[in-house]
A and B are shown apart, each in its own frame.
Chain A
Amino acid sequence: MADFEVPVLREYPIIPKLKEGTMAHSSPYVAKAVMQEPLGFPGELLDNWKEVAIEKMGELCGKYRSLQVYLDSCVKCGACTDKCHYYLGTTDPKNMPVARQDLLRKVYRRYFTFAGKYFPKLVGAADLTEEVLDDWYSYFHQCSQCRRCSVFCPYGIDTAEISMAAREIMDAVGKGQKYCNEIIGKVFKIGNNLGLPEPALRDTLEGIEEDVEDDTGVKVRYPLDEKGAEVLLVTPSADFFAEPHVDGLIGYGKVFHEAGISWTLSSKASEAANFGMFIGSYENMRRVSMRIREAALELGVKRIVFGECGHAWRVAYSFLNTLAGPFDFLDPRYPVPQHICELTNGLIKEGKLKFDKSLNDDMKLTFHDSCNVARASRMGDKPGGQFVIPREIIKACCNHFYDMPADTIHESTYCCGGGGGLLTDDLMELRVKGAMPRMQALKTVVEEHGVTNLVAICAICKSQFAKTLPYYGFDMNSIVSLHQLVSNAIILSDAPKDDDENDDDGDDA
């Protein structure tokens, strides 16, 4: 099925021996001028790209303490070398976090440090050349910015920060990535990553309302642009039609319905994703975020809630207040923004949601901690709430839950392999290989506990798993949305008593 070698899952995970150059050919499509220019980047590689790149590097070192400190501080201890799923899956040494950093660091040393200026060979400094730029383009698009390396580095050196800076430098010289930059352009123009215009969105939501009514007998609403609603829900656009994402969206609607909270989606902010983060561009990330502020103001809502999406939650939780705040016009009793899981779990705790857990009995579940949720954000008011809350929800609506091995979950979670702006078909080989460590962990619980389904709370993870699970012999439909489980098991109190649930059971089997 693939024109590359799919890694084999073993009895026990191993640290592979390195093989140089195995992924040197992997590079995503370069953005065309029409995708570069709306974001404020040059349309094609500048003639004086070297000078511009060096200048940009200096500028970024002055703007980001992370970059400056991380470029200086690495001692090459090697602790991070076996922590990246892309290294484990590809065995290409340039996918070891420190080696990836060194691609940028060697140029930094050459132009910005005493040792690199006068003794380049000694400290591994190198001139910026076309080959170096090609290496950057290739390997900084083999980093999903998952931050796993930063957990294990004694100084917290976060390769994601380095990748973001490298991508920003490449954008500044006119060598941007097609996938990310085209999508950001669509968000500016139409409001979401998919380029789904308002009428199509309205149509889709009406379709969902009909389906849910057919299914449950209850008129659960999926409102769009309704002024005066209590909650603005911002969710990844994949939730509007992709599987299993849409089942999650259906679940959010049922939660709001059952709790009696009025809510609305917005056609202006019909996208939670913010690819501005992936390309390291503060300006673009801010522009994308401002839509949400504007939508909240226009609709007059009191709260902002985010749907299931990993990097979107990072931008929302960690950056939104910075980028588009202050949000003093919202109800101060709620955190801004809130995660849908915080909302649902809160309602469960208050006893406002009731479940028939047996409706999920056809599944044995495990939970994939998405990297950006796990290592770059929080839920609830205690550190680590991002691990506890989703699991509490699953356990509230399912009988069979098993965690994957401890070194593959929580803060040590492995990336799905498709994050960080890599969820594109031109990087399929990388995505499949990068999924290996997660698949290995999944195999463990499948064998030990007969797990049938993998739960995720991230649009990218869901899409990535739907594509990559089959390469490892799993069913593509075994990936489910967390709020899909909620949706399956929730008891809608205004449902017609004389229901036809028994028929439904028959369909599922």
Chain B
Amino acid sequence: MSLVTGLYVVLFYAATVLLVVGLAFRIKKYASTPAPLKIPTTPAPTTQSGVVLRLFREVVFFESLFKSNKWIWLFGYLFHFGMLLVLLRHLRYFTDPVWTWVALMQPFGKYASFAMLAGLLGLWARRFLVDRVRYISAPSDHLMLALLVGIAITGMGMTFVAHTDIVMVKGFFLGLMRFSPQPLPTDPLLLAHLGMVVALMIVFPISKLLHAPGVFFSPSRNQVDNPREKRHLAPWAARLESGEQR
């Protein structure tokens, strides 16, 4: 096994562990932190199924963002759903045989990368052009976009310009999954692409990318509007009460 392959094997295992464990801890923290008061932003659904629908609309349509700002919505939507299609397309490197629907969606996934890139560039442009967004941007906000743009461009480079040995790449990832590492092609585009993906996986649980799990835990979006019908009491608030009564 070459040095490069060895390095990427280690990187991918490490990044996967950090991503999974990091996210699990974060999600556990969100789930176990009580929400002592009913604070859904109203009008809010009065039933649990209504809440599921509300969250569905937020995640699938970016409903609130649509109300808020059509440009951010457009760019954000192009980026996220472009990225989703691109990611789904990548499943073919992890499945053998390739699932039929993954095979069928390949062309969509390929061109979705343009949407993803266009969205990212639009969002990035706003960070320079809109004075309010410029004001709130920290270096990490630019860096995150740079990272994603880098991933997108190197990936598109391999798809549309300088192909890599895709069979060997697939061998590498299947090898990782089966714990029997296989060699990785060493062309620079691929190494850059995968290096940045590793970086993204590592920063995910310690950055603003936590918005992805966060949206499901946001009390203003995930609470049922029924405070009069059903008494809502957090464990620490209950302790406060019983302490008083004693």
Contacts and interface: CB of A to CB of B under 8 A. Distances in A.
Nearest to A277: B37
B140 A411 contact: no
A384 B214 CA distance: 26
Given A65-B217, A81-B133, A411-B43, A76 B138 contact: yes
B119 interface: no
B132 A82 contact: yes
B54 to A, nearest CB: 10
A378 B220 CA distance: 14
A504 B24 CA distance: 71
A155 B67 contact: no
Given A64-B34, A124-B140, A156-B219, 8 more contacts: A15-B132, A75-B141, A122-B138, A151-B64, A152-B64, A321-B232, A322-B237, A335-B228
Interface in A65-108: 65-66, 68-70, 72-83, 93, 96, 98-99, 102
A83 B64 CA distance: 13
A73 B44 contact: no
Interface in B188-214: 203, 206-208, 210-211, 214
B187 to A, nearest CB: 30
A122 B139 contact: yes
Given A318-B38, A411-B43, A73 B210 contact: yes
Interface residues of A, number: 73
B211 A155 contact: yes
Nearest to A83: B68
Contacts of B219: 65-66, 69, 156
B102 interface: no
Contacts of B232: 321-322
Interface in B5-58: 26, 29-30, 33-39, 41-46, 58
Contact of B65 (A17, A61, A77, A378): A77
Interface in B210-236: 210-211, 214-215, 217-221, 225, 227-234, 236
A400 B157 CA distance: 65
A252 interface: no
The 5 closest A-B pairs by CB, nearest first: A73-B214, A124-B138, A156-B220, A383-B43, A152-B68
A157 B230 CA distance: 24
A81 B136 contact: yes
A323 to B, nearest CB: 8
A322 B208 contact: no
A355 interface: no
Contacts of A74: 208, 211
A114 interface: yes
A63 B34 contact: yes
Contacts of A386: 42-43
A151 B36 contact: no
Contact of B133 (A65, A78, A326): A78
A78 B208 contact: no
Given A154-B58, A156-B221, A321-B228, A375 B140 contact: no
A155 B62 CA distance: 9
A64 B231 contact: no
B64 A68 contact: no
Contacts of B130: 78
A169 B30 CA distance: 21
A79 B65 contact: yes
Contacts of A115: 140, 203, 206-207
A283 B227 CA distance: 19
B132 A319 contact: no
A303 interface: no
Interface residues of B, number: 64
Interface in B86-123: 123
25 contacts: A18-B131, A65-B30, A65-B33, A72-B208, A72-B210, A75-B211, A78-B136, A82-B132, A155-B58, A155-B215, A155-B218, A156-B58, A156-B218, A157-B218, A282-B37, A321-B228, A322-B36, A322-B227, A322-B232, A335-B228, A336-B228, A375-B41, A375-B42, A383-B225, A411-B41
Contacts of B233: 322
Contacts of A192: none
Most chain A Cβ neighbours within 10 Å, of B140, B220, B227: B220
Contacts of B67: 151-152
Nearest to B45: A383
A366 to B, nearest CB: 21
B87 to A, nearest CB: 18
Contacts of B69: 78-79, 152
Contact of A150 (B131, B133, B220, B231): B220
Interface in A360-386: 374-378, 381-384, 386
B72 interface: yes
Nearest to B211: A73
A225 interface: no
B218 A80 contact: no
Nearest to A285: B37
B218 A322 contact: no
Contacts of B215: 73, 154-156
Most chain B Cβ neighbours within 10 Å, of A64, A156, A318: A156
Contacts of B126: 78
A317 interface: yes
A176 to B, nearest CB: 21
Contacts of B58: 154-156
A27 B245 CA distance: 39
Given A73-B208, A79-B65, A79-B69, A123 B140 contact: yes
A161 interface: yes
B129 to A, nearest CB: 11
A64 B68 contact: no
Given A18-B131, A96-B136, A80 B41 contact: no
B38 to A, nearest CB: 5
A75 B46 CA distance: 29
Contacts of A376: 39, 41-42
A321 B37 CA distance: 10
A99 to B, nearest CB: 6
Contact of B39 (A81, A102, A318): A318
A5 to B, nearest CB: 20
Contacts of A63: 33-34, 36, 234, 236
A106 B106 CA distance: 42
Given A77-B65, A155-B215, A321-B231, A102 B136 contact: yes
